[in-house]
Amino acid sequence: MPSSKGADNFVRGRFTRAVLEKIRQSVDGSLFDRIFDDKPSKILFIGNLSPKKPPKKVSPIYSKTTPSSAGLEVLINKQIIQTAKIQVCVSGAFYYKVFPKREEQLENYEQEDAGIYSRDADGQDEEFEGEESDSSESGYRLRPAYRKVKPQPVEIEVRVADLLSADWYGKGTFQEAERLTIQAKEIFNEDPDRFRRRARSTSDRRIREQEEFVPRCALEDDESWNAFLSDWGASIPEPSWSVQLSYRVTDYSDDCVKLTLLLENAFEERREQNDIENSIFETELSVKPINFAFQDYVLDYLRDDYKYEGNIHATGINCSIVKEDEVIRIEHMPVFIQKKYKSQEPISLDFSALAEDPIPVLTNLHQLMEEEVSRLEMEFQGRTDLTAKGRRNFREDIDQFITETRRFKCGIERLQTDSEAMEAFSLMNRAFAQSSKGFNSWRLFQLVFIVMEIPDILAASGRGSSDTASDVDLIYFPTGGGKTEAYLGLVVFTIFFDRLRGKKEGVSAITRFPLRLLSLQQLQRIADIFAQAEKIRRVHPIIGGTGYAPFSTGYYVGQGNTPNKVYEAGSQYGGVKDEVTPINTDPSLREKYKIISCCPFCGKESIEIRGETASLQIIHQCTNPECGEEVPVYISDQEVYRYLPTFIIATLDKMANAALSKEFKSILGKVSGKCPQHGFVIGEHCLYKKKPYHNEDPNLCTVERYLPVNLHDPVPSLIIQDEMHLIRESLGTYDSHYETFLAHYIQELTNGKPVKIIGSSATMTEYWEQIRQLYMKRSHQFPSNRSFYAREDAEETARLIAGVMPHNKTVIYAVLDIIKLYYEEIHELKSDPNRALEMNVGFSSEEEVLATLRDYDLGLSYNLVKLEGDAIIQSIRTMVNVDLRKKGIREMATAPMTGDVTFSDVKGVLSTVERDTPGANLDLIVATSMISHGVDIDKMNFMVFRGMPRNMAEYIQAYSRVGRKYPGIIFVVFNPARERDQSYYKYFEKYHEYKDVLVEPVPLNRWAKFAINRTLPGIFSACVINFLERMPGISPYMSKDFRGAFESRRISLDQITEFVLSCYNCDGQDMGPYFEDYIRERVQDYVDQILSTDGNRFIPFVLSDAPMTSLRDMDIPIEIAPTRESFDPMKMVSVRYSRSVE
């Protein structure tokens, strides 16, 4: 049956394999019998071995980028040496120059006539020593053509003992391998179309080039063409092919010898000639044990890991290795097939069923967990093969799963004994039942996590106690596995529970993201579920009543994304700052501040932005006549402070605001009243109170009396830190000081009531150490036993990850070739969908093909630094698109997503992709690490890495942008000049198989000696302007008020010092005495500076050490701007002026 939704993932998996194989064959030459327009060694870059160069002419980089050998190393047990036999198989292909056929020459001739023939003049010749080009700069010149010859493979069978010449040693060559070149030369010698050189007629190069032009009359018919070629020349350039297969046996260990087999291009080429191709292509080498088995290499790194085998079958030399049955072979483009990770489904976890009667389902699930504990215990007893450390690790994981089981049971019991908790759980499930798109049930780990956290949430709300309420729980699950929905489920439970227990308004939960892009992508998802929760709240007999605030969200991020202030009255220091009024007349502002596009209530793309001057708000309004909802989302700092949204979505950097904004305390419930016009009041007056010195301003507040407010338990019960592994290095160190500040501040406000902290990551090791450094708390990782919760589907492919080490070609040219080949293939399949049917991968109709291809027309180019991304965009514009035009294919449209791209531009790119806007073509996103997290685009299913990212966590996060819903294709183009890239390529499949345990621990040290220099000013300032004001009659955020409070002894130096010391948790730490001495000294200095300040200044501006404005504020910034002379040249080379999606 035809399908408008495209093929299923099993068909897509076979389709992606076919596309990847087509690209492989295009870059290793196996797809072609003839190569045109340049030497094959300039075009093909996988599996080719170049001739050797004289040692004096070879630089270290040349031997890596242009290898002349490839091989493998295997281990053989010494005890079977005398009887062991091996079968070695070697093959390769060769090219030699021939005359083009008439139709081949005519193709270039006609392109030149049409003005579309072109050749990139920049080339890459200077990148490799000794290179010369054989490409034609004119379509009228004789077209270079090379014919491939591929001899029959050579098989050699030999006794291993015969390779030894001494005790466990031997070396030599297999003369049989020379049969490859003998066969190739026989074919070459018999070919009548071999190219013949012309004798040099003059030393003038221009005249010689003119002589190579083909007259038009020569192309009239085959007879004319053959006559023309017969007079071309007489000297035949003969290639010097030479294949050598060598072996070497060495003593490896007490038990094994190592056998090295090396396939080499043995010809030493002193000077490259244009019309002779001496490289060997499509090289293959394999070895098969005949009457024994090779020994595996054992990785010491994994010797103590009970989950992984930790063995490597063989190692490669200038290649990777693949084992098929018993055969070990070299592989020039290794492919790792990553299977789809799916939730285990032992029982139904349907939202609706759980909303009606959850206890039977949860009790059944608990029984399954108990059975899993028994299974693990039995497995543990049987694992006698483990080392002592391995058994210890296994035991610890079992104990953690036992703890999970116990906490889950405790959660069930709390639901049974607390009616409001049970009601909140039911309402949460109803909200997800209404919201979920394509899903009607929880994944197993999500439900277990939510239920096991319920006792901690109740304890944070003052209901009972829990021994883990003050601990940090980390959700550790693969990317795309549903971590966000897991903690969103807990958030929705919390907000319903808060309302049911009497918290009618105020902040219930906060989630923080290290990167702005993460917060932007997640906001629509959060708004959708909150809208459904709000619909349920409105009709609830209790929490839908008068006085209960709507469920709302706040977007609390940096000023470069949304405004910090929507309105600021004029004063003697400056005029009015109005972000509200211009919105109604400026379409660009309306688009800039639109942070969600689809109405979360009706699902229509009907959101418009308007400025509301009466309340000084930026409103997201649904314009759908059947809906018309005013979406409860607040996007500025001032709106967050004034309306205290139920759930705040923030960036990590906003923590620094505690030192710079006296309104920060409102998030923790420190408000004094409510203005009927502008929301909560912080301090004595409305934020927009009209002062005597203000000019006539109709937007300012004239309300004299505020509504009384008594918030119930106003401190949030839940704080979530997403992508915790990104809180590292200096950012992590600075944040750790602010984390313990916030924890101590909350403890002071609540008399010790805990706040539950949840972390989330897909790429962390030694999590306990990072969490200890960040929060000074105990921690638990969930889940401890992934196999109970999820499994790999052996039948369904998630991603095909291919490794490419380009030979004789620069990394950027290899990247561009792969991007172009993929783009051309998808374009050709769209133009002729019948070709996809002929692939025999399972497509049922052309309509299904076209629907499927829509999910494969967006690519991602991942670059380690921005300059590399700029080069990709520039090269696509000047090279790739030129070639596409020549072929009659639409040019590629690119868009950058790097750190310097504006928030508005990022939204524009994401909107273009997600909406699939007609006419807004976007073919390739060129990105850096900013795209590694939080970008979930279903149709982005092709990716090319330019070099290996700096650490495994970044790599995993980056490639997980592709293949989230449908099978994806990923190419990792390694840099041969980097040893790290060489290692990843050599052990490609094993690196991917063991990726989780190879994630590096997060570098973070909260006790870095000089970090306190940067954070102390901010924490001191936060103490003064936010903490001290909690005391009656004290409002010391201005220096005059501080001086008055200090002199009247309402605040003291000891009081401030003790608060700041408690924020750093110095007791019992090695660096504690240093930190304590520094804090006491600097706090004294800061207090003295405030007391001696003339006039009345804002406290943060008084201090000699300025508080950090951002946690990334590592150094004092300096501004760099173009001069009048440099502006125009900078504008010309700017990537924003290259062809890209606006």
Q: Which two tokens stand for residue 723?
A: 């992508």
Alpha carbon separation from 951 to 773, 963, 979, 996, 1000 (Å, rounded): 21, 21, 14, 12, 7
Q: What does the pLDDT read at residue 435?
A: 87
Tell me phi and psi for residue 610, to 5 degrees.
-140, 155
Residue 350 reports pLDDT greater than 60: yes
Query: Which whole number is the average pLDDT over 23-27?
Result: 97
**Dist CA 849 CA 836 (whole Å):** 7
Say yes or no to pLDDT of 712 above 70: yes
> Is there a single domain that holds both residue 834 and residue 962?
yes
The label of the residue with tokens 């308007």 reads 610
The DSSP 8-state label assigned to residue 844 in this structure reads -
Question: Does the pLDDT of residue 975 top 60, yes or no?
Answer: yes
Q: Is the pLDDT of residue 89 over 60?
A: yes
C-beta separation of 321 from 81 below 8 A: no
- Higher-confidence position of 885 and 365: 365
- What is the average pLDDT across 608-615? 94
Average pLDDT of the chain is 89
Q: What does the pLDDT average to over 263-278?
A: 91
pLDDT of residue 451: 98
Using alpha carbons, select from 130, 99, 91, 357 the residue that is nearest to residue 243.
91
Q: Can you say whether the dihedral through the CA atoms of 322, 839, 29, 798 is positive or negative? A: negative
Q: Taking 60 as the threshold, does the pLDDT of residue 174 lie above it? A: yes
With H, G, I as helix, E, B as strand and everything else as coil, classify residue 321: strand
Nearest to 771 by CA among 816, 814, 742, 739: 739
In a domain, 302, yes or no: yes
* pLDDT band at residue 934 under the 50/70/90 scheme: low
Interval 889-922: pLDDT, tens: 999 999 998 877 777 777 778 777 776 655 568 9
Are 827 and 957 in the same domain?
yes
Q: Are 1017 and 659 in contact (CB under 8 A)?
A: yes
Residue 616 has pLDDT above 50, yes or no: yes
Q: Is residue 706 part of a domain?
A: no
Strand-strand pairing, 553-556 and 315-317 = unpaired
One domain for residues 772 and 916:
no
Tell whether 138 is covered by a domain.
no
Q: How many folded domains does the chain comprise? A: 4
Residue with token string 């610890």:
396
Query: Is the per-residue pLDDT at 950 higher than 60?
Result: yes
| Cα separation, 285 vs 267, whole angstroms | 19
DSSP secondary structure code for residue 549 in this structure: P
Residue 851 vs residue 208, higher pLDDT: 851
Q: Are 699 and 572 in contact (CB under 8 A)?
A: no
Section 197-226 average pLDDT:
81
Domain match, 253 and 320 both: yes
Count CB atoms within 10 A of the CB of residue 131: 17
Among 486-495, 509-518, 1043-1052, which range has the highest average pLDDT?
A: 486-495
In contact, 758 and 724? CB cutoff 8 Å? no
471 and 542 both lie in a single domain: yes
Tell me which amino acid residue 1014 is: R
- Tell whether omega for the bond before 783 is within 30 degrees of 0, i.e. cis: yes
* Better-scored residue on pLDDT, 562 or 1137: 562
pTM > 0.85: yes or no: yes
Q: Give, in degrees to the nearest 5, the angle at Cα 114 between 108 and 120.
A: 60
Q: Do 488 and 545 belong to one domain?
A: yes
Rounded to whole angstroms, how far apart are CA atoms 1077 and 405? 46
Q: Which residue has the higher pLDDT, 302 or 878?
A: 878
Instruction: Single out the residue of 928, 878, 920, 919 nearest to residue 901, CA to CA.
Output: 928
The 3-class SS string of 160-184 reads HHHHCCECCEEEEECHHHHHHHHHH
- DSSP-assigned letter for residue 880: I
Secondary structure (3-state) at 801: strand
Supply the DSSP symbol for 834: H
- The β-bridge relationship of strands 243-251 and 170-173 is antiparallel
What average pLDDT does this structure show over 1085-1100?
93
pLDDT recorded at residue 474: 97
The distance between the two most distant Cα atoms of the chain, rounded to a whole number of Å, is 112
**What tens digit of pLDDT does each residue of 639-678 get?**
999 999 999 999 898 889 999 999 999 999 999 999 999 9
The mean pLDDT value for 148-166 works out to 94
The residue ranges of DSSP E strands in 917-1012, in sequence order, are 924-927, 940-946, 968-973
The whole-angstrom separation of Cα 1140 and Cα 544 is 49
Q: Which amino acid is residue 628, in one-letter code?
A: G
pLDDT of residue 1133: 55
**Do 1023 and 911 share a structural domain?**
no
pLDDT at 795: 92
- With vertex at residue 924, the alpha carbon angle to CA 919 and CA 925, rounded to the nearest 5 degrees, is 110
**587 found inside a domain:** no
- Among residues 957, 975, 993, the one where a domain terminates is 975
Contact in structure between 929 and 847 (CB atoms under 8 Å)? no
Q: Within a domain: residue 866?
A: yes
Q: Phi and psi for 604 in degrees, rounded to 5?
A: -85, 150
For residue 918, the model assigns a pLDDT of 54
Q: How many CB atoms lie within 10 A of CB 736?
A: 26
> Which residue reads 């403890």 in tokens?
747
Q: What are phi and psi of 550, to 5 degrees?
A: -65, 155
Q: Do 788 and 776 contact (CB within 8 A), yes or no?
A: no
The length of the chain, given as a count of residues: 1142
761 and 862 in a single domain? The answer is no
Q: What angle do CA 291, 297, 300 make, to 5 degrees?
A: 155
Helix, strand, coil content of the chain in percent (nearest 5): 40, 20, 40
Which one of 975, 1002, 1029 terminates a domain? Answer: 975
pLDDT at 233: 84
The residue type of 383 is R
Assign 278 a pLDDT band (cuts: 50, 70, 90).
very high
Q: What is the pLDDT of residue 1032?
A: 59
Q: Which of 332, 363, 390 is the last residue of a domain?
A: 332
For residues 1053-1071, give the mean pLDDT: 94
| Domain with 295 in it | 47-100+145-195+237-332
- Helical H runs in 246-387? 351-356, 358-382
Residue 1058 lies in a domain: yes
Q: What percent of the chain clears pLDDT 70, i.e. is strictly above it?
A: 92
Are residue 848 and residue 762 in the same domain, yes or no?
no
Torsion angle of alpha carbons 46, 52, 56, 59, nearest 10°? Answer: 10
- With respect to residue 985, please indicate whether it lies within any of the assigned structural domains: no
CATH of the domain at 901: 3.40.50.300
Q: Is the pLDDT of residue 1141 over 80?
A: no
Query: How many angstroms separate the CA atoms of 533 and 428, rounded?
Result: 7
How deeply is 617 buried, as exposed, middle or buried, from its count of CB atoms within 10 A (0-12, 13-18, 19+)? buried
Q: What is the CA radius of gyration of the chain?
A: 35
Strand partners, 1038: 1098
- Is the pLDDT reported for residue 166 higher than 90? no
Q: What is the average per-residue pLDDT within 846-852? A: 95
CA atoms of 40 and 248, how far apart (whole Å): 31
Nearest Cα residue to 537 out of 497, 490, 485: 497
Tell me the three-class secondary structure of 611-633, residue by residue.
Answer: EECCCCEEEEEECCCCCCCEECE
Q: Please tell me whether residues 532 and 483 are part of one structural domain.
A: yes
Q: Which of 261-275, 385-399, 421-435, 1115-1129 has the lowest mean pLDDT?
A: 1115-1129
Q: What is the mean pLDDT of residues 548-557?
A: 94
> Quick one: pLDDT band at residue 573, thresholds 50, 70, 90?
low
Structure confidence at residue 130 as a pLDDT band (50, 70, 90): very low
Confidence of residue 941 (pLDDT cuts 50, 70, 90): very high
Whether residue 911 is found in the same domain as residue 1020: no
The pLDDT of residue 1030 = 57
Contact 505, 554 (CB under 8 A): no
pLDDT band for position 938 (cuts 50, 70, 90) = confident
**Mean pLDDT of the region 162-186:** 93
Pair 813, 931 in one domain: yes
Query: Looking at the domain assignment, is residue 1035 inside a domain?
Result: yes
Q: What is the pLDDT of residue 1132?
A: 59
More confident call, 1128 vs 189:
189
pLDDT confidence of residue 1102:
93
